[in-house]
Amino acid sequence: MIQKQRTKLKIISEDAESITLDVTDIPQPLANALRRVIIKEVPTMAVEEVLIIENSSVMTNEVLAHRISLIPFITDLENFNIAEECKCQSRLGCEKCVVRFVLRAEALNEPVTVYSRDIKPERTGISVAPFSGDIPVVALAPGQKVEMELYVRLGRGRKHTKWMAGIATLYEENNRRYFYVESFGFLPPRRMVLEAAKIVKTKIREIEEGLKELMKYESANAG
């Protein structure tokens, strides 16, 4: 079903941050389902836990942790699992469901601004990293220091907005319906649409299987 609908999608414009599709020939409920899934269901990677070892800045631990948790991380869907679905079933996670980062910075004789580029992974060879290295984290005065461990995991926007992949809107113009998707940096916009289509397809299959089981039950108990 989803495959047939894909052939009716026409790309109007696309760049690294956004994509616009002509979805006039797609039923509006299906297009709206894609929109909702992009916002709430497409998995992305963000900081879920922060272990603060030292923080002598003027920013409180809670504010600093919250600020860091909102940094978008380039997401690797091929090599990592959502924690709740990982086979390890460990609270601490494993190499398949968590990426550990460290942030260490100190101001000696001059003030220092700590940026997202200062967040470093504990192990090499992974593609997960802050989407931009130019996001300010905290300003340190001479003599101040921060040191912390960050635990980055896959999550969905329905759990917390920090995992929201981007925005998706439907609008009409000259009797045509368009679908606009803008990425927050976790995933390319086209990948967001494709992942949303996969999720919708899976949900439709689950509904179909559920209906089949219901019909079997009703047939077996008829009369």
Mean pLDDT check: name the lowest of 3-7, 63-67, 90-94, 185-189.
3-7
CA distances (Å), 214 to each of 151, 203, 207, in order? Answer: 42, 16, 10
2-41+165-220 maps to CATH 1.20.58.220? no
- Three-state SS across 15-73? CCCEEEEECCCCCHHHHHHHHHHHHHCCCEEEEEEEEEEEECCCCCHHHHHHHHHCCCE
Residue 84 is predicted with a pLDDT of 87
CATH code 3.90.470.20 for 45-156:
no
pLDDT > 70? residue 58? yes
Instruction: State the Cα–Cα distance between residues 47 and 44, nearest whole angstrom.
Output: 10
Annotated domain spans of the chain: 2-41+165-220, 45-156
pTM for this predicted structure: 0.85
Confidence grade of residue 5 (pLDDT, cut at 50, 70, 90): very low
- Write the pLDDT tens digit of every residue in 68-126: 999 999 999 999 999 888 998 888 889 999 999 999 999 999 999 999 999 999 988 89
Q: What pLDDT is attached to residue 223?
A: 56
